[in-house]
């Protein structure tokens, strides 16, 4: 019996010829990631061990992105912990204001995470890097601390669900719509502690930005990781960024799967996840008269240049609806600069949107766009739980950038055709 791509990567990093679902293994870690929320706890635990050095200063990444630029004294203190640790141990990949980005946008962009690697991060959306063909998953801060000392982590090898996407994509439909549709189909616990392997001929129509969106939201289906089989699209993206060797893995034809789910994309419309779960998904055509107070375009799910190009195409020459707040958050300084050079930021500002420095900010109800009681927001983020972006009585809808941009113009949830007709 062959192995899946997830099993092959884990086996290689555990020094094994083969691993089996359900096995507990210890694997070498290529990248260990922490942010301003989770790394301070890991650093505290690291210091408790009495370790005199980190396992590899080039393989630890610290990104203060959640409450930055610092929103208050507490967040400033947290960031100082990361800064002091980075200085003390000579951490190569430490990013702060001026260089920082939302971690899961920044690391692939900088070529820090690569195909075939094992990547852990004390952030649940670390699964984003599966878009590159890496095994990447979120861990607790104590696991991160142990990895910073030893360069290893323990895993239970997950079973794999294979998703086969066939057909073509309708206009404006992106990876965000495919993953929302998929979560709507299987539910928020439909892939609990399993690998979601994304395959099929329809994925040739999904660019890297869309693949990052899909892998990013694997956790919203309860998955341990989401992963793509690397192809020419992956190679084109990675070859321009990688500063070290990487490996493309594939799944064997006789690999064992816990389930195979086939999805024909021909009929998939633009999707919207309604409050209060990512599984509460409806086509945009079924939503009428949902008036909005705020639209956010950005985050580790949809904060890449491709997302802003889509939004700008729809918002060009338009005005944001009266009394609606539209916040644009580039995922990194590079994305910000690219959007600036392409004239996208001018389009957004002329439309009446506010442009923020790179930050997670409103996605987790941190800052830069907190919701009041009863307010409704549409966001290109990844979660819409009760109170996720502010007051417990606020409501959050999720979509891709096309629906978000159109809805910002109209002041209610609509498709791009409603604006461009």
pLDDT (tens digit per residue) in 6-15: 999 999 999 9
Domain count for the chain, please give it: 2
Out of 200, 231, 263, a domain closes at: 263
Q: What is the mean pLDDT of residues 320-347?
A: 98
Predicted pLDDT of residue 201: 98
pLDDT in tens, 102-154: 999 999 999 999 999 999 999 999 999 999 999 999 999 999 999 999 999 99
Predicted pLDDT of residue 235: 98
Residues 30, 54, single domain; the answer is yes
Residues 220, 313, single domain; the answer is no
CATH (domain of 59): 3.30.499.10
* 49 has pLDDT over 90: yes
Q: What is the mean pLDDT of the chain?
A: 97
- The size of the chain, in residues, is 421
Residues 244, 370, single domain; the answer is no
Residues 298, 386, single domain; the answer is yes
Predicted pLDDT of residue 288: 84
Out of 263, 280, 299, a domain closes at: 263
Residues 291, 178, single domain; the answer is no
Predicted pLDDT of residue 1: 85
Report the distance separating Cα 40 and Cα 159, nearest Å.
Answer: 32
Residues 132, 38, single domain; the answer is yes
Predicted pLDDT of residue 190: 97
Q: What is the mean pLDDT of residues 386-398?
A: 97
Report the distance separating Cα 334 and Cα 357, nearest Å.
Answer: 11
Q: Give the chain's count of helices (H) and strands (E).
A: 14, 18
Predicted pLDDT of residue 63: 98
Show the domain range for 51.
Answer: 5-263
Question: In the structure, what pLDDT confidence band is assigned to residue 324 with cuts at 50, 70 and 90?
Answer: very high
Predicted pLDDT of residue 275: 97
Out of 263, 295, 329, a domain closes at: 263
Q: What is the mean pLDDT of residues 226-233?
A: 98
Instruction: Show the beta-strand stretches assigned E in 223-381.
Output: 225-228, 259-264, 271-273, 281-283, 294-298, 325-329, 354-355, 376-379
Burial status of residue 409 (CB atoms within 10 A of its CB: 0-12, 13-18, 19 or more): buried
Collapsing DSSP states into helix, strand and coil, what is residue 39? Answer: helix
Question: In the structure, what pLDDT confidence band is assigned to residue 421 with cuts at 50, 70 and 90?
Answer: confident
Report the distance separating Cα 125 and Cα 104, nearest Å.
Answer: 7
Residues 297, 218, single domain; the answer is no
* 41 has pLDDT over 80: yes
**C-beta atoms surrounding 179 within 10 Å:** 31
- Produce one character per residue of 295-305: b if its CB has 16 or more CB atoms within 10 Å, e if not: bbbbbbbbbbb
> In the block, which residue shows the tokens 């990949």?
93
Residues 237, 360, single domain; the answer is no
Predicted pLDDT of residue 405: 98
């Amino acid at each position: 019996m062959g192995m899946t791509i997830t099993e092959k990567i884990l086996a290689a990093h555990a020094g094994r010829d083969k691993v089996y679902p359900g096995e507990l293994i210890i694997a070498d870690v290529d990248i260990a990631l922490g942010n301003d929320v989770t790394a301070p706890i890991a650093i505290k635990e690291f210091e408790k061990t009495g370790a005199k050095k980190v396992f590899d200063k080039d393989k630890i990444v610290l990104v203060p992105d959640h409450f930055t630029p610092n929103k208050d004294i507490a967040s400033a203190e947290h960031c100082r912990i990361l800064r002091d640790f980075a200085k003390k141990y000579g951490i190569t990949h430490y990013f702060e204001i001026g260089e920082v980005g939302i971690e899961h946008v920044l690391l692939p962009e900088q070529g820090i995470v690569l195909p075939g690697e094992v990547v852990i991060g004390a952030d649940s959306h670390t699964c984003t890097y599966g878009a590159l063909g890496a095994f990447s998953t979120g861990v607790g801060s104590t696991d991160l601390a142990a990895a910073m000392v030893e360069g290893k982590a323990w895993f239970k090898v997950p079973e794999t669900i294979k998703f086969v996407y066939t057909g073509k994509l309708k206009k404006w439909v992106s990876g965000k719509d495919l993953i929302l549709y998929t979560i709507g189909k299987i539910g928020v616990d439909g892939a609990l502690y399993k690998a979601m392997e994304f395959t099929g001929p329809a994925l040739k129509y999904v660019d890297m930005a869309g693949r990052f969106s899909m892998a990013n939201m694997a956790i919203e289906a309860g998955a341990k990781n989401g992963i793509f089989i690397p192809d020419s699209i992956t190679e084109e993206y990675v070859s321009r960024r990688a500063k070290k060797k990487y490996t493309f893995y594939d799944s064997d034809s006789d690999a064992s799967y816990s389930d195979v789910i086939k999805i024909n994309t021909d009929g998939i419309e633009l999707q919207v996840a309604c409050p209060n779960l990512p599984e509460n998904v409806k086509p945009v055509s079924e939503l009428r008269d949902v008036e909005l107070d705020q639209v956010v375009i950005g985050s580790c799910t949809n904060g890449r240049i491709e997302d802003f190009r889509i939004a700008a195409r729809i918002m060009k020459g338009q005005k944001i609806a009266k009394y609606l707040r539209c916040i644009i958050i580039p995922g990194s300084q590079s994305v910000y600069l690219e959007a600036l050079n392409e004239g996208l930021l001018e389009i957004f500002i002329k439309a009446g949107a506010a442009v923020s420095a790179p930050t997670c900010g409103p996605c987790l109800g941190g800052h830069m766009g907190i919701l009041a009681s009863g307010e409704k927001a549409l966001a290109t983020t990844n979660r819409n739980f009760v109170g996720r972006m502010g007051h417990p009585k606020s409501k959050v809808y999720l979509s891709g950038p096309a629906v978000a941009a159109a809805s910002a113009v109209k002041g209610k949830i609509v498709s791009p055709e409603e604006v461009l007709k």
